[in-house]
């Protein structure tokens, strides 16, 4: 008798839908706020560097080629919920998650993103939003295929649009706590225009950068779910401040008018990039001179004048410096001062952090406790985890469908076990029973 009732129930639910659209585990409705308000709410941020953007053919050759093999290839441990929560507990309000989406991609010319890789990224995005932080995902260096745009524009644009179409679809129901970033630093080509030479090719290089950013906006706005209103992050030309402030760089046309611009700050390069002397520059162990401070403030003011004052908020998507061959106090001074100055000018600073760097992924905290206090004093946010479990998502697939009702019916018939954390107690009476099933049916019919 129980089995017969279950079959009738399952068939009746299957009649109206196999997949009723509903928010994902980390989703809610988009708030009626401007991108400027959203960026301000982020406070300060940190990167999950050298993790999901790790790439190379050698990874699959020397491993099983699974998602975690890629995320650990450049020295990171497997990312855990505790690692992500630790970042939120240190006061960070946004986590930028660089991604190489070509990992595990079939080489058949269709540019189909691996479902397993996308799901692993989604899991970390869920943890990020669940911890109370905003999440930014992008197409990062990804093996450098974006460098092919000047010589193979049509195929490169096909790949770019195809990949963003899939990313947009995969995360379409996420709330405005998820931001898409068009690219990393690669929108700029020395083969077209040499910034240290003449102006030959400059207008063509900027036009291509602008075209790619426009394609990004067009793809996202034409996709489903919350994407027509999603806040977007537009990569500046090579994410250089001076190049992005050049009149030839244009923000895309956006019907939603929900965009911020992204630049990076690694200046002066002798301190912020070089660990030892190179043929193009000399490594510098200290930072903090009057000249250093003046240069920093000049670039922050430049972004304020060109963008923030024009209603376009700025995210310093990366800023940072190595610790090797650097004076520890100068490292602390650089990181805290850049953070403070960027925030003072209205920008959101997002520190670059990699395995073994400023954030200890084993201890789940910043290595330098004095730095943590200094950064928190700028715009640190208290740890405020968010409810990320979708009520009624009995089978845990991040959507609300007839399958959830079937699963709850199985539980009530003692044919299925549910975890203690299952969101099945829909009337919050401390028990899971027929009343909850009735509520779930109403939710599905309403959807």
CATH level 3 topology of 2-20+390-446: Type 1 dockerin domain (1.10.1330)
Percentage with pLDDT > 90 across the chain:
80
| pLDDT (tens digit per residue) in 266-320 | 999 999 999 999 999 999 999 999 999 999 999 999 999 999 999 999 999 999 9
Q: How many CA atoms lie within 13 A of 251 on its CB side?
A: 20
Burial class (CB in 10 A: 0-12, 13-18, 19+), 409: buried
Residue-wise pLDDT tens digits, 315-358: 999 999 999 999 999 999 999 999 999 999 999 999 999 999 99
Over 50: is that where the pLDDT of 24 sits?
no
CB 265 within 8 A of CB 318: yes
Residue 214 has pLDDT above 50, yes or no: yes
Of 71, 299, 318, 341, which residue is the catalytic one?
Answer: 318
**Domain extents in the chain:** 2-20+390-446, 35-379
Q: Which of 19-23, 66-70, 158-162, 208-212 has the lowest mean pLDDT?
A: 19-23
Q: Strand 348-351 and strand 45-47: pairing?
A: parallel
Select from 81, 82, 84, 76 the least CA-distant residue to 54: 76
Active site residue 185: yes
* Integer Cα distance of 109 and 158 in angstroms: 10
pLDDT in tens, 138-188: 999 999 999 999 999 999 999 999 999 999 999 999 999 999 999 999 999
CATH number of 35-379: 3.20.20.80
For residue 445, what pLDDT is reported? Answer: 82
pTM value is 0.85
- Strand 134-138 to 314-319 pairing: unpaired
pLDDT, residue 388, reads 62
Measured between alpha carbons, how far is 357 from 137 in angstroms, rounded to an integer?
A: 21
Domains 2-20+390-446 and 35-379 share a fold: no
Q: Span 36-61, mean pLDDT?
A: 97
Rounded to the nearest angstrom, the gap between the alpha carbon of residue 82 and the centroid of all alpha carbons in its chain is 18
CB within 8 Å of 361: residues ≥ 6 apart: 76, 77, 79, 83, 355
Indicate the pLDDT class of residue 390, thresholds 50, 70 and 90. Answer: low
Q: Which of 181, 185, 299, 341 is catalytic?
A: 185
Split at pLDDT 50, 70, 90, the class of 420 is: low
Q: Which residue has the tokens 């537009």?
A: 234
């Amino acid at each position: 008798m129980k089995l017969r009732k279950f079959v009738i129930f399952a068939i009746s639910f299957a009649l109206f839908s196999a997949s009723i659209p509903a928010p994902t585990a980390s989703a809610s409705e988009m708030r009626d706020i401007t991108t400027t308000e959203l960026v301000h709410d982020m406070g300060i941020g940190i990167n999950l560097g050298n993790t999901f953007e790790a790439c190379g053919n050698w990874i699959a050759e020397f491993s099983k080629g699974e998602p975690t093999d890629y995320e650990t290839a450049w020295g990171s441990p497997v990312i855990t919920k505790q690692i992500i929560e630790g970042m939120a507990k240190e006061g960070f309000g946004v986590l930028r998650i660089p991604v190489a989406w070509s990992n595990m991609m079939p080489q058949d010319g269709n540019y189909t993103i691996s479902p397993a890789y996308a799901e692993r990224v989604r899991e970390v995005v869920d943890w990020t939003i669940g911890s109370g932080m905003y999440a930014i995902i992008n197409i990062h260096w990804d093996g450098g295929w974006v460098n092919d745009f000047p010589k193979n524009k049509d195929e490169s644009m096909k790949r770019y649009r195809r990949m963003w179409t899939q990313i947009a679809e995969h995360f379409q129901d996420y709330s405005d706590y998820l931001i898409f970033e068009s690219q990393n630093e690669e929108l700029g080509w020395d083969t077209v225009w040499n910034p240290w030479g003449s102006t030959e090719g400059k207008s063509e290089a900027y036009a291509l950068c602008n075209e790619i950013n426009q394609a990004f906006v067009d793809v996202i706005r034409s996709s489903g779910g919350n994407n027509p209103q999603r806040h977007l992050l537009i990569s500046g030309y090579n994410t250089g401040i001076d190049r992005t402030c050049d009149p030839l760089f244009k923000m895309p046309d956006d019907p939603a008018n929900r965009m911020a611009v992204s630049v990076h700050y690694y200046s002066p390069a002798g301190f912020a990039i070089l660990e030892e002397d190179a043929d193009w520059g000399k490594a510098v162990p200290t930072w903090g001179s009057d000249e250093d401070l003046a240069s920093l403030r000049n670039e922050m003011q430049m972004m304020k004048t060109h963008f923030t004052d024009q209603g376009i908020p700025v995210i310093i998507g990366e800023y940072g410096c190595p610790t090797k061959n650097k004076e520890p106090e100068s490292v602390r001074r650089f990181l805290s001062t850049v953070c403070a100055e960027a925030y003072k000018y209205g920008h959101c600073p997002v520190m670059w952090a990699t395995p073994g760097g400023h954030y200890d992924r084993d201890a789940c905290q910043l290595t330098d406790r004095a730095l943590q206090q200094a950064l928190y004093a700028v715009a640190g946010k208290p740890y405020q985890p968010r409810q990320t479990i979708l009520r009624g998502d009995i089978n845990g697939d991040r959507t609300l469908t007839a399958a959830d009702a079937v699963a709850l019916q199985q539980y009530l018939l003692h044919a299925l076990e549910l975890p203690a954390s299952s969101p099945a107690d829909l009337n919050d009476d401390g028990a899971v029973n027929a009343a909850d099933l009735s509520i779930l049916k109403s939710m599905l019919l309403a959807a």
